[in-house]
Amino acid sequence: MRNKQRWIASALTAAVLATACSTTTPEELADEYDLSQGTDESANADDASGSGSGATNADDDSFNYAPDPDPTPLEFDSDTLTGALDNGLTYYLRDNDSPGSSIQLRLVVNAGSAQQEVADSGVAHFLEHMLFNGTDDFPGNELKDTLESLGIQFGPELNAFTSYDETVYELWAQTDSEATVDTAIQVLAQWASAATIDPAEVAAERGVVRDELRQRTESADGHIFVDFIELYTDGTGYEGSSPIGTAEWADTMEEAPLRTFYDRWYRPDNMAIIIVGDVPVDILEEKLIDAFGEISARGDDHPTHTVVTPAISPNPVAEIITHPENVVDNLSVDFPFTTWDQGTVGGSKLIVWETLIAEMLTRRLTNAWFDETLNSDSEPYIAEFSLNRGLRYYGSNLASSDLGATLEQYLAILRGAADSGFTEEEVADAVAEFGAGIDSWEASLGSTQDADYAWWYTNHFLTGIWGEPEQAWIDREREVIKSVTTDELSDHWRWSLATGGPIMAAVGADATTLPTIAEMLEIAESTVGSAPTSDFETIDKLMDSPEPTEPTNSYTVLQDAQVWEFDNGAIVVFQQTDIVEGSISFEATSMGGYSALNDVSFAEAVLASNAVIGSGVGPYSPAQLDQFLSDKSVGINSVIFSEGEGLSGNADTEDIETLFQIYHLLMTAPSIHETAFRSAISSGQILLDQLAADAATEAELELQFMTYRRELNSWVPTQGELDSATPDSLLEIFTSRFGTVDDLVISIAGDADADVVGKLAAAYVGTLPPGPDDSFTNQLAPARTEVVAIEVPLRGDAENGGIAWHFDSRADWDLGDAMTGRVLETLIQTLIIDSPREDLGASYGGSAVVTPWSVPIERMDLTIQINGDPERIDEIRAAVFAGLTDLTENGPSQSAFDRAVAVLRADYDFVSNYTFTEQNAGAVSGLDDGAITTINRNRELDQVSPADVRRLAARLIDFETYGEVARVPA
C-alpha cells in the first residue's frame, strides 16, 4: 500500500554518497532509492566484477523530437532578502515563524570532493571534520561545548555533510536570547575563515575518519556500494573522487592538503550564508555584515567551480558485481537522464514531465507484478536519484530467481511504453497524483518550516533551483500538468530511452548464479516492447459509511484534546494543531501483541503484517487500491510488537475519511494478495540469510535477546517458519490481533475540525466489532544476575566493528525518573563523542537511549551502541566504562549538566503532530501516567539536579549484571 505523498519534481541535489554528518544521511537516500537496495543484506569477502557494453536497439530516426527547454530563469521569492557583501559572500535571509522561537543557519561551500587536487584523497570530507576541531575563537573542543550550550547536540550524522560538489554546515539555535543568535552566527563565521587545522588535531582525527570509512564501506554492502559508485562515475569528471576517500589517505592525512583546500575554496565569493527563522531580516542582515563583512580570501589560488556534465551514451552497459557475503541476487537497472537546468522555466517543466513519466512506468510495472507477468520478489518501481550535479538517473532494483527473464520482462514493459506511447488514462492518473501532491503542498503553505527554506536556498545558491515563491512554484507546476499532452510525454520517454542506454548491474555472491554480461547486453538489444496487460475495474469509492454509533462518553485531556469513548471499547482522541497545515497524523494501538497468541513468533507476526499491508483491502486488489489512491494523499502502515499492535498513518485533511475507511477495512476485511505474500516471504528469507552473513545483523539480534527471551522473540524468521507460511496462515495471525476491538486507542493530531473527526470516529471506529478482553504475556528474559558478554565474529573482510551494552533496572519509576533519564541519556551521548571518538580516535560515534517502560512490567533500561575499530574494542570499553563509573560515583559536573539541559530544552522547542498523538494516547490509555508531555517537560526539567542524575545512573548502571555484544575480528 504505497503512501501517496507529494514527490517534489526536482532532482536530488544532495549527493547520494555525501559523507560525514548530514541530518538526512545520503545513505538513507540511497536506501530509499536504488543504489543499495537489495545489496544491504550481507557482510564481506573478495569481490569481482566485469563489464561490457553494446549498441542500443532504439531507432533514432523513428520520431522527430528533441527537448528544447525555455532558458528563462524562474522568479525569485521577494520575501527572501538576498544579496552579496562587498567581499562576494552571498546571503539568504528570511523571517519565518514555523516552528518559531528558533533559526536555521547554513554555511554553504561550493566545493566538494570533485574539486580535490588528488581525486581519492577525501580532503574535502576530512576538512569538514577538522572545522569541528578548533577555530581561532573556539580552540580544540571548545566548539563542541559551545554548540551544546546553544542546545545543539554534536555527533555523527549531525551538523554537516560533504558531497561531490559541495560542503554544507548546519546549525539551528533558539532565539530567546540575542547572545545565542550572535554565537551561532559567530560559529559560521569562524568555520568560513578561521579554522586552525592544527597538525596534532589532524593526527587525532585520523582514527575517527577511518572508522567512518570502515562503517560505510568495509562491509559487504559497503564494498558493493563502492563498486556501484565506480560503475556510475567511470569515465566522468567524478571518477575516483568519492567523498569518503580511502583508508590510505585517512590513515596518513596531514595538515598541508587540508590547508590548501581550505584556502582555495573556502572564500567569500564561493560561499553562502543562509539564516531562516524567528528574527527580523534587517536585524539578521546587520549581524551578518558585522560577522562576515571583513572576511577575505586567503592566498592567491582562487579557481572557479565548474560542473562538467558527462555525455549520456545511448549504448547499454552491463556489469557483474559479486561479494561472497551478499545474500540476495539482484539486478540494478538505471537509465541516465539529462541534468536539466531546473532554475529555468524549461528545465523545471521537463523535471515535472519526467516525474509524471516515472509514475506511469511505475504503475505499469506494479500492475504487471500484480498480474504476475513481471517476476519480481518485491513491488517494482521507477525512482529518480542524483549521484551529484552531473549524474542523474531513473532506475529500479529487481530481485528474482531468474534475473535474466525478469530483465527481459522489465525492459519489454518500458519499451512498450515507448513503442505505443502512454494512454490518456495513464496520463490522467499520473496528473491526478501529481496534482494531489500540489494540493497538499498548497494547503500547508502557512506552515513551511525554517529547515525547508534553508534547504531550498542551499540548492538555489548551488544550482539556481528552488528559489521561487511557493505559490508561484505551485501555480507553475499546476499549469505544467494541466497543459501537458499524452503525445508530449510519450515522445519525451521515447527520446529519453533512445538517448540513455540502461546501465545494468547484476549483484550476487557468485557470478555463476547471475546472468553474464553478454546475456544482459543481448537482452538489452533484442527485447521488444510489450503492451500493458493489466485489465481491472477501477473503483470510485472504498465503502459506504456505516451507520454511526454514538460515543458512550466524551471529555478532554491534557491540552484540550477531545476524547470519545465507544461501547466496543475503542477510544478516539483528537488534538487540533496547525503544525502542518492541511495534514493530520494517525496512530491506533491495542495491547496484546504477538505475545497474546499461542506459539506465534515476532517474525511470523511481522510477516503477516507486511503481507496484509502490501495487499488490497476488502474486495479490492492492490492494483485497484493503488489506482483509487492516485489522487489522494493517504498513507498507512502497521506495527506489531510483544505487548501490542497498531496501525499508523497520515493524510491530507480532505482525505481523512479515506484514511478511516482503509483502517476500518483493514480491521474488518483484510486480505493477502499472492504477490504481497511472496514479497513478505522473500523479505523474510533475506533477513534469515543476512543473519548468517552479516555480523551487524547478528549483533543487533543478540542485543534484542538481552531484553527478550530467545524463544518466539526473534524478528528474523526461521527457515521452518518461512517454509510453512501460507497466505491463509498469515491472514489468521493478522486477524487474530487486528480483527476485533477491546482496548483500542486511536490518537489523531493535526489540522482538522474536531466535529468532523468525531463523526468519522463514530462511523468507522465505533462500529468495529468488539472482541474479548485479552492481554500480553511477559516475554522479558530473566533478570541477569551476572555479566553476559557475547562476541560476534566479523565475516570475511568486514571491518565494521562495534560494541553495545544493555543495562536495566526492573523497578518502578516516576515522572522525575523519566526526565532524569533524558538528561542522563544526553550526557552519555556526549561521553560517546568525547571519549572513544575525540580522545581515542577509535570510533566514528554511537548512540545512547534511556527508556522508561510500563509494559510488560515497570522498568528502565539503558542501551549504548558504539561503532569502532574492531582491534580497539577493549580500549573503547575501558574508556566508556570509566566515564559511566564517574557518572555513577560523582555525577556530572555542573557545566556538563547545564549543557545537557540546554540540549534538551532546545529539543523541547520542537513538536510534531506525532508528539501529540503519542502523549494523548498515553493519557487516555492509562499506561503512561508518568510520561513526559508538552505540559510538564520544561517544569520537570527544571527540577532535575546533577545529584539526581548520579542517583539514577547508580541505580541503572550495574557493572555486575550488564549485557554486552561486541563485533570483533574472527
Q: How many CB atoms lie within 10 A of CB 7?
A: 14
For residues 224 and 27, the answer to whether their CB atoms sit within 8 Å is no
788-968 is a CATH 3.30.830.10 domain: yes
pLDDT tops 90 at residue 43: no
**Residue 56 reports pLDDT greater than 80:** no
Average the pLDDT over each of 10-14, 250-254, 653-657 and give the range with the smallest value: 10-14
Instruction: Identify the three-state secondary structure at position 564.
Output: strand
Amino acid at 456: W
Q: What is the 3-state secondary structure (H, E, C) of 799-816?
A: CCEEEEEEEEECCCCCHH
* pLDDT over threshold 70, residue 38: no
Q: Which range (22-36, 97-111, 113-127) has the least confidence?
A: 22-36
pLDDT band at 929 (very low <50, low <70, confident <90, very high): low
Distance CA 885, CA 900 (A): 18
Q: What is the average per-residue pLDDT within 345-373?
A: 96
DSSP percent split of the chain into helix, strand, coil, nearest 5: 45, 20, 40
Which is nearest to 135 in space by CA: 70, 83, 186, 84? 186
What's the CA gap between 827 and 832, in Å, rounded? 9
Residues 6+ apart with CB under 8 A from 455: 466
pLDDT at 15 over 60: no
pLDDT above 90 covers what percent of the chain?
Answer: 88
For domain 553-764, say whether CATH 3.30.70.600 is its number: no
Q: Dihedral sign, CA of 716, 719, 720, 722? A: positive
Average pLDDT, the chain: 92
788-968 and 84-292 share a CATH fold: yes
Identify the pLDDT of residue 41: 28
Q: Work out the pLDDT band at 62, boundaries 50, 70, 90.
A: low
d(CA 87, CA 154): 31
Q: Are 706 and 779 in contact (CB under 8 A)?
A: no
pTM equals: 0.91
* pLDDT tens-digit series, residues 593-602: 999 999 999 9
**CATH T-level assignment (fold) for domain 45-53+317-526:** Cytochrome Bc1 Complex; Chain A, domain 1 (3.30.830)
Cβ-Cβ contacts under 8 Å for 728 (sequence gap 6 or more): none
Q: Tell me the C-alpha distance between 763 and 664, whole Å.
A: 9
Tens digits of per-residue pLDDT, 538-565? 999 999 999 999 999 999 999 999 999 9
Model confidence over 277-331: pLDDT tens digits? Answer: 999 999 999 999 999 999 999 989 899 988 878 889 999 999 999 999 999 999 9
> Rounded to 5 degrees, what angle do the CA atoms 531, 534, 537 make?
135
CATH (residue range 84-292):
3.30.830.10
CB-CB contact of 869 with 820 (8 Å):
no
Domain boundaries in the chain?
45-53+317-526, 84-292, 553-764, 788-968
Give the other-Cβ count within 10 Å of 812's Cβ: 13
Minimal CA–CA distance to 900: which of 140, 153, 181, 132? 153
Q: What is the per-residue pLDDT across 761-809, written as a single tens digit (0 to 9) for each?
A: 999 999 999 999 888 999 999 999 999 999 999 998 888 999 999 999 9
Q: What grid cell was written down for 963?
A: 549485557
Residue that is written with C-alpha cell 513526559 in the block: 932
- Mean pLDDT of all residues in 674-678: 96
Cβ 947 vs Cβ 776: under 8 Å: no
DSSP-assigned letters across all residues of 239-281: TT--TT--HHHHHH--HHHHHHHHHHH--GGGEEEEEEESS-H
pLDDT digits (tens, 9 = 90+) for 613-643: 999 999 999 999 999 999 999 999 999 999 9
Q: Is the dihedral of CA 524, 530, 534, 538 positive or negative?
A: positive
Task: Kindly report, residue by residue over 938-954, the tens digit of the pLDDT.
Answer: 999 999 999 999 999 99
Q: What backbone phi and psi angles, to 5 degrees, belong to 854?
A: -105, -20
